[in-house]
Structure 1
């Protein structure tokens, strides 16, 4: 466990001499290809950086398990190409190692991307959602056992001030962009139709197995957070087709052009405000 002023227990010596990075990005399922167009300063495998023995990142298709120090325009980035999940047998604190390392590397902002199932009827596969709030149904919190006080306020956890401008831009590009509430579940099995109906009644627009642990830890450590999701499929019971992870990856590949443009524009608006 780490506190707000501490560094993660495990991080590679090569990062010790790296200059601070202003912004960190975690690339989830369907987002990995965005890193291919960056100017890379150095890259490390997750197995070189994190000591989590249960690290099975390579066993999750669509998650490269690579950490990059890179530049995007004049902005220095820490890019996590892939993430950890509770369904790998990890705790929420272990899942949030990426946010802890981002803080240790001097970042002030964290962009979290992931793939989600659409619950709200307007959220079709290939559309995007700026996360405005979340429902944590993962049964764990990365702040358990931390000191100083872990009783942090999660009101306005996700930054959305730039959304109106980004929405106008997205409409002009023919990119379907919405704002909504994310429900986070453990997985790895997909939800049942009854669970999706319950989540809908509770106010969820999309559902996933990620993002929330990193977001909570980032807020605890004083980082600003943005959540950006790609809808890759209708949630359980909202389509006659069975849910498959390959469908998630295929939708991410099909949406690659739009997701890259959208992430670039989001960074432009967000970093310009600082």
Structure 2
């Protein structure tokens, strides 16, 4: 089934839902934001051919259509990861379908480990750039479209908007480079030292393949990481997925407030929504 055919299925399933202008992928511990969608139509990924089968706790696996802060949205409550299938392009059908539904902007969120003590757990971090330590999701494509420009992939205007909203709300907002490790094992202290020398500010196991696919499909891109821990070896404590989910839940209110404020601006005449 092509993305346009799947988009038609979704429209038939939820005929009253507005065509989304903004798509949002929710990371570990952040799926509760989907409950805030007004006039929501909820469709399980299992009912959408090609959508990911999420096998990670904290990722509920549903597409939610409706409105957030007045903006028509498509919210993906959960994602699939490279480490679940060994496929970097596992999110391709979903992202292509979001574009076919009408979205022109994709907001990617995740839980991440900080490499900067000044950006502790509970801090949202704006993604300014990324480093990929895994395979490119466009491998095997044909034609010139696969040579995607990644300069300013994380939209500078959207990042400026996020900073303005955070300042107005008095929410501390970090900004930095996100480095993608494939997982599922957590990084070693040596790998964290390497990441810091490479110029990374946070690490995680998602987001970068989706960012490349988003730019391939011509979507504007904004990324927000919820810092849930400091990197391996920085505190002397072992890392765990339970800590990631717990810290994401504790910071979810601040994260939600910031994201809704950004969306509210996108609903205005200058936001394009």
- TM-score w.r.t. the length of structure 2 is 0.90
Greater Cα offset, 208-217 or 13-22: 13-22
| SS in structure 2 of the partner of residue 155 of structure 1 | coil
1:184–1:207 contact (8 Å) kept in structure 2: yes
Query: How far did 1:104 drift?
Result: 1.6
Asked if 1:115 is matched to 2:111, the reply is yes
What per-residue deviation string (whole Å, max 9, x for no partner) do you get for residues 31-82 of structure 1? Answer: 1111112114421111111346xx541x311000011111124321111000
Greater Cα offset, 242-251 or 96-105: 96-105
2:120 is aligned to 124
2:64 is aligned to 68
Query: How far did 1:259 drift?
Result: 1.0
What per-residue deviation string (whole Å, max 9, x for no partner) do you get for residues 16-44 of structure 1? Answer: 55652111000111211111121144211
What per-residue deviation string (whole Å, max 9, x for no partner) do you get for residues 198-224 of structure 1? Answer: 010011000000001111111111110
Q: CA, structure 1 residues 249+144, in 2 after alignment: closer, same or farther (shift >3 Å)?
A: same
Q: What are structure 1's unaligned runs of at least 5 residues?
A: none
2:50–2:93 contact (8 Å) kept in structure 1: no
| Residue correspondences, number | 266
| SS in structure 1 of the partner of residue 94 of structure 2 | helix
Please give the residue correspondences for 1:1-12 in structure 2 after superposition, counting only pairs within 5 Å. 7=3
Asked if 1:231 is matched to 2:230, the reply is no
| SS in structure 1 of the partner of residue 75 of structure 2 | strand
- TM-score w.r.t. the length of structure 1 is 0.89
Q: CA, structure 1 residues 15+90, in 2 after alignment: closer, same or farther (shift >3 Å)?
A: farther
Greater Cα offset, 177-186 or 72-81: 72-81
Mapped to 1, the partners of 2:243 and 2:62 lie a distance apart of 23
Asked if 1:148 is matched to 2:143, the reply is yes
Mapped to 2, the partners of 1:134 and 1:66 lie a distance apart of 27
Mapped to 1, the partners of 2:96 and 2:85 lie a distance apart of 19
Q: What are structure 2's unaligned runs of at least 5 residues?
A: none
The list of structure 1 runs, each at least 4 consecutive aligned residues, that deviate by more than 6 angstroms after superposition, is none
Greater Cα offset, 14-23 or 215-224: 14-23
Q: CA, structure 1 residues 21+168, in 2 after alignment: closer, same or farther (shift >3 Å)?
A: closer
| SS in structure 1 of the partner of residue 89 of structure 2 | helix
| SS in structure 1 of the partner of residue 90 of structure 2 | helix
Greater Cα offset, 143-152 or 106-115: 143-152
1:159–1:224 contact (8 Å) kept in structure 2: yes
Greater Cα offset, 171-180 or 191-200: 171-180
2:192–2:232 contact (8 Å) kept in structure 1: yes
